[in-house]
Structure formats: structure tokens, C-alpha cells
Amino acid sequence: MAQEKVAGGAVRQVRDLALLPGAAWFHLATAVVTTAALVLQFVLTTTTTGQPLPVRWLRLASYFTIQSNLLVAAAAWALWLRPARGARLLFKVVRLDGVVGITVTGLVYLVVLRPTVDLDGWWAVADALLHYVVPVLAVVGWAVYGPRRRTDRRVVLLALVWPVAWFAWTLAHGAVAGFYPYPFVDVDDLGYGTVLGNAALVTALLLAAAGAYLWADRWLDARARRPRWIA
């Protein structure tokens, strides 16, 4: 139980979702599954043929999906070690970036990209883990176990730094190497005007998702509180 001061100097006990039974184990499961998915994708990329190995690694790291999964894994491992953590601003931003990034990853992949992908074998397994299983685990873990009260307007704004930096890197890297990880950011095919428009749309989607998580965080926190007043 956490304590909150209220008017008149009284203190009330507040139920913290981070301390619900099973929180650490759920975060551990999320961390293990996400890490396994990333390792599998890395091994597949390493053992395939084509471009030189450093190029393949750099391109793999350039995918928004991979970065989103890395953020989810980092937050999940941290929460497994301490389910109630969250005082540090860096953790709050990483946590929000992970859940927002993986949410948008799953939605965009399902609606836009999945029809263009044809995979089998272990590639299909990695694809399912990264785009379906991890998003579900991340969102369910956030909604059920929290921890709550780790999101505010400042965290939302700081969380936009990563996706904006990703877009900047994607355009710079593509201009040099001619590689674009997704069709909607392919300047060679679409031109800068269309790509920048697509980037603005995705950024707006990310901001809307972050705002939705901010609202949901406050609503879930208020709903979960069971005050016990102390004089």
C-alpha cells in the first residue's frame, strides 16, 4: 500500500496495482518472451545470406518494430526486478514509449503491412511473436499490473523524442544507403512530400495513443483506489 497526503494533513492508504499478486511473474513472462523473440530475429538475420553482416544488423536495428520490442523488454525486466519502480523520469519515458510503440506497431502491421508479408518457418514464428504476442503481453501487463501514476503530460511529450528521432534516422540512413524499413517511408518510391505526410500521420497516431494511455492511467488509478483514512 502507498500513502497519499490529503487536505488537513490526513493520510490515506492507496492500493498500488504494481503490488498485485503475480505482477512480477507477468513482467518476467513478458521480458522472457520479448527477449526470445528479439534473439530469434537476430539469429535469423545473422544466419541468412545477402548483404554483409554489419549491414544486416544495422538494418535490423533500424526497424521501429525491433526498437519497440527492445523498449518493452527493458521495461519488463526492470519491473520484474521491482514491480513498483517508477520514480525516475527515464523509466517513465521508456515504459510509455514501449507500450505506445508496441501498440502502434501491432496496429500498423495488422492493418497496413501484414498483407504484404509472406513468411514461413521460424521467420513466421518471429513475426508472430514480435507483432502479435508481445503487443498483447505489453498492453495487458500495463492495464492489469501497472504500475499506475507513472504518466503525465511531461512524460508524454518526452516520449515523442524517440519516434521523431527514428524518423530522422530513417530518412538520413535511407538517403545514404537507399534502405527504408517500411513502404510508407520509402522516399525513392513516394517522394519526400508523401513520406513527411505519412510521418506526420504516424506521429499523430503515436501522440493520440500516448494521450489515451495517459487518460487510461488516471482512470484505472482512480478506479483501483480503496482509501483507508488515517488521522
Q: How many CB atoms lie within 10 A of CB 17?
A: 21
Confidence (pLDDT) at 3:
42
> Residue 35: which H helix or E strand, with range?
helix 23-47
C-alpha 208/C-alpha 156 separation (Å) is 10
- Residue-wise burial string across 157-188, b where 16 or more C-beta atoms lie within 10 A, e elsewhere: eebbebbeebbeebbebbeeeebbbbebbbbe
What is the SS3 assignment for 152? Answer: coil
- At which residue does the C-alpha cell 541468412 appear? 48
Contacts of 131 (CB under 8 A, 6+ apart): 65, 105, 106, 109, 110, 114
Distances (CA, A) of 215 to 191, 204, 211, 225: 36, 16, 6, 16
Confidence (pLDDT) at 16:
53
Confidence (pLDDT) at 31:
97
C-alpha 230/C-alpha 11 separation (Å) is 5
C-alpha 108/C-alpha 165 separation (Å) is 19
DSSP secondary structure code for residue 130 in this structure? I
Confidence (pLDDT) at 197:
93
Beta bridge partners of 5: 11
> With contact defined as beta carbons under 8 Å apart, do 205 and 104 qualify?
yes
Confidence (pLDDT) at 224:
67
What is the SS3 assignment for 179? Answer: coil
Q: Which of 211, 209, 221 is nearest to 68 (CA)?
A: 209
Is there a cis peptide before residue 227, judged by omega within 30 degrees of 0? Answer: no
What is the SS3 assignment for 13? Answer: strand
- What average pLDDT values come out for the chain (231 residues) when binned by 10 residues? 44 52 89 97 91 93 95 94 79 93 88 73 92 94 86 90 93 92 90 91 89 88 61 41
The pTM for the full model equals 0.85
